[in-house]
């Protein structure tokens, strides 16, 4: 079954009895009326931004109750917009402290723990040029079951081509949806595998 987009849902709601819409950049609110057991009730459907997800699609016993819900919804939308604006400002003003030679580490995997290391070759503004480097086992760190050990970075081994990535707050880079790297503290990292 196809999910309706916001525009289609609003078009449908506007066909309801006494339907009115309130539109801002932050939200769209449709007020209308429904008939239930011979009585008329105020009803409401709210959308935040461009989301097709409906908030508060209910009918109410009185208008005052509905207006309280609308007031809270508007306040939440304004609060979220303010928070997002503040986050954007923080991200825009952030200046990485990383320098060439720093190593980033990424721990990832499902049912095993893979460890990847990346060497920062150069940095310009907030964008770093990275290359994946090898790892080596810490001597004597193999676990008794034989499928895990501790590893450290091996900058002498380069893997693949250099690539650019933006360095974010807290000295982090995102490589994939499942690979999020941070600056390595030099301590051995736990690694596991299955035979």
Q: pLDDT tens digit string along 161-176? A: 999 999 998 899 999 9
Residue 183's beta-bridge partner residues?
Answer: 104
pTM: 0.67
For 56, what's the count of Cα atoms within 13 Å in the CB-facing half-sphere?
25
Q: By the 8 A CB rule, do 146 and 189 touch?
A: no
3-state secondary structure of 90: helix
The distance of Cα 71 from the centroid of its chain, to the nearest Å, equals 27
Q: By the 8 A CB rule, do 163 and 173 touch?
A: no
pLDDT digits (tens, 9 = 90+) for 36-55: 999 999 999 999 999 999 98
pLDDT tens series, the chain, 195 aa? 467 899 999 999 999 999 999 999 999 999 999 999 999 999 999 999 999 999 888 999 999 999 999 999 999 999 999 999 999 999 889 999 999 999 999 999 988 999 999 999 999 999 999 999 999 999 999 998 889 999 999 999 999 999 999 999 889 999 998 899 999 999 999 999 886
Taking the C-alpha atoms of residue 73 and residue 30, their distance in angstroms, rounded to an integer, is: 12
3-state secondary structure of 178: coil
Residue 136's beta-bridge partner residues?
Answer: 152
């Amino acid at each position: 079954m196809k999910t309706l987009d916001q525009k289609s849902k609003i078009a449908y709601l506007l066909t309801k009895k006494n339907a009115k819409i309130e539109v801002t950049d932050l939200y769209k609110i449709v007020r209308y009326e429904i008939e239930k057991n011979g009585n008329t009730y105020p009803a409401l459907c709210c959308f935040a931004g461009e989301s097709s997800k409906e908030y508060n699609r209910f009918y109410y016993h009185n208008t005052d109750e509905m207006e309280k819900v609308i007031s809270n919804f508007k306040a939440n939308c304004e609060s979220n917009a303010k928070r997002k604006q503040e986050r954007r400002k923080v991200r825009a003003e952030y200046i990485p402290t990383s320098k060439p030679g720093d190593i980033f580490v990424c721990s990832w995997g499902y049912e095993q723990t893979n460890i990847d290391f990346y060497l920062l070759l150069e940095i310009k503004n907030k964008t770093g040029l990275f290359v994946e480097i090898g790892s080596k086992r810490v001597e004597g760190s193999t676990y008794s079951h034989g499928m895990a050990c501790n590893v450290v970075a091996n900058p002498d081994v380069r893997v693949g081509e250099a690539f650019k990535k933006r360095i974010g707050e807290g000295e982090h880079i995102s490589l994939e949806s499942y690979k999020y790297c941070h600056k390595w503290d030099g301590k051995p990292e736990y690694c596991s595998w299955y035979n």
